[in-house]
Amino acid sequence: MRPSRVFLAGMMGSGKTLIGRILAQALGWSFIDLDGSIEERAGRTVSELFAEDGEEAFRRLERESLEAVLEEEVDTGLILSLGGGTYVQEGVAEWLRSRGVTVFLDCPPEVLADRLRDPEQRAKRPLLAGGLVETLRRLSEARAVRFDAADVAIDGVGDPEVVAASVVTALGTLEETPGVMAAVRVSLPGRSYPIWVGPGGSEDVARRLALVLASLRPRPPKVAVVTDEKVATLHLGGLKKGLAEAGWVPTVVVVPEGEGAKSVDVLGSVWSQLLEARFGRRDVVVAFGGGVVGDLAGFASATLLRGVRLIQVPTTVLSQVDSSVGGKTGINHGLGKNLVGAFHQPAAVVVGLDLLRTLEPRQVRSGLAEVVKYAVIDGDPLFETLERDAEEILARPWSQAKLVARCCEIKARVVQEDERESGRRALLNLGHTFGHAIEAMAGFGGVTHGEAVALGMVLAARSARVLGLGEDGLEARLVRLLERFHLPTCPESFMERREEMARWMENDKKVAGESVTFIFPRALGDVVLHTVLTCSIPTLLDELASSGKEN
């Protein structure tokens, strides 16, 4: 795939060079300032070229320099800052459109004038003769039609990091820019946050994380990274290095690996370390890890000082496609999974797909159970995509940016409709009522969360069939797909302990009064809530066990 090229256009003073450098650092791309390239080729400054050769000769040299820059091979993507008049020259916009994406940084003349009042700045720009605001307004109006043809327009007023973050988010929505982070936005009443999905490992993620941190208002004085022992060994060094390069020195809190970390004792330790570091409500907690770390760090940030800001940096398939999005946080209790927690939405989610390269195969498989869940909820064509590409997805999960973004889009859409799980959001628990019971029966560690969800989805599909709710063949089709992802599909060993399973289900957090809400798939893309009296759960489990033996 050809590296992406992004061209920054705009009036002089719109910040193209500064924004370009920030973008290149955040994306790990190359950066070229076209005016600097022209001066290097000509051995004279732009102002000297204008004065000695005239504007027409300069424009010819500008076009030649542009063509030369784009002929050069680069190993990464390229951010190219154009001169103020480059993009508006005849034919340039059309020529660039076939070679990349153009971003117009829009600034009113008054703002441009404030930025260019310095005599040294004005001396570098030969077209700035006469009244500054009037000249800039005239040039802006003359060039407006051409600038309107840019692929993306961004408000260039404000802090450079905020503008750069807006550019990255906008680029992520364009399929024409391979390699740029896909950008999903979760929009909630009075607030929203981005989910950035893109390639890269810990240092790349750190650069993007630094961009997010710098764009937050108020700007956080301190940052803490909460991670587990395994992620710390594999990736913490790169994350700290990347943050240090951007001027951030985080407080690091390392917790034990595994589901056992979601406990009151570990939570208390996280609180203590953050308080000892004198964290305040303007500071930010970064959850750097899988679902366990995300739940634990999220709950710690939700409750510390009645709430500090949170950024999720997920490192597993499961957390990237599911648990990092939506604001659910919590810890386990002896009576069940995730029974103590809070809704606490992150300020952003930053996904680095190459972090998955160090993931153990079992954890990859576990995360893919949640991907299958989203495909059942959303229906075709997502389910068909998984059926077509199952082996490739399993072998190279770090190459599945569109798939990860699609799962995040589905979850974002549901969360936007029902943030607090009072209705439709419960559909995202497909397979989880059975799955949480299976996890508890296995001692919170004998099976992974994804394995339990896979078994739970099989039982949910079987329940729909037994109760006459589901279409014929759905359970068999689901089982075939799960098996291609090497996930368990035979829950019979747990069904032999039905009395114990029923007891765990009676303590599920979806219990209301004398009933529990199950989520059953009637067909692909048609998933419904179904209430079962707790006293009827043993009978349902008996029927599921009998049906399983028959099949």
Residues serving a catalytic function are 306, 328, 370, 411, 421, 425, 429, 432, 436, 449
Q: Residue 393: CB partners within 8 Å, gap ≥ 6?
A: 368, 371, 386, 400, 403, 485
Residue 309, CA distances (Å) to 6, 161, 285, 305 in order: 32, 18, 6, 11
E-assigned strand segments in 118-211: 152-155, 182-188, 191-198
d(CA 162, CA 425): 31
Q: Taking CA 31 as the corner, what is the angle to CA 27 and CA 35, rounded to the nearest 5 degrees?
A: 150
Per-residue buried b or exposed e for 124-157, using 16+ beta carbons within 10 Å of the residue's own CB: ebbebeeebeebbbebbeebeebbeebbbbbebb
End-to-end Cα separation, the chain, in angstroms:
46
Q: Quote the crossing angle between the two packed helices 449-466 and 432-441, to the nearest 10°.
A: 130
- If you count them, how many residues does the chain have? 551
> Which alpha helices (DSSP H) does 6-131 contain, by range?
16-27, 34-42, 46-53, 55-71, 92-97, 109-115, 119-123
d(CA 382, CA 252): 38
Measuring CA to CA, which residue among 397, 392, 393 is closest to residue 355? 397
Q: Residue 252: CB partners within 8 Å, gap ≥ 6?
A: 224, 225, 227, 232, 236, 240
> Which alpha helices (DSSP H) does 396-536 contain, by range?
401-417, 432-441, 449-466, 474-484, 492-495, 498-506
Please answer whether residues 297 and 270 qualify as being in contact, where contact means their C-beta atoms are separated by less than 8 angstroms. yes
Measuring CA to CA, which residue among 178, 213, 182 is closest to residue 408? 182
> Which alpha helices (DSSP H) does 176-290 contain, by range?
202-215, 229-231, 237-245, 264-276
Residue 237, CA distances (Å) to 165, 243, 296 in order: 24, 10, 21
d(CA 310, CA 307): 9
Q: Indicate the SS3 state at residue 284.
A: strand
Handedness of CA 47, 51, 56, 58 (dihedral sign): negative
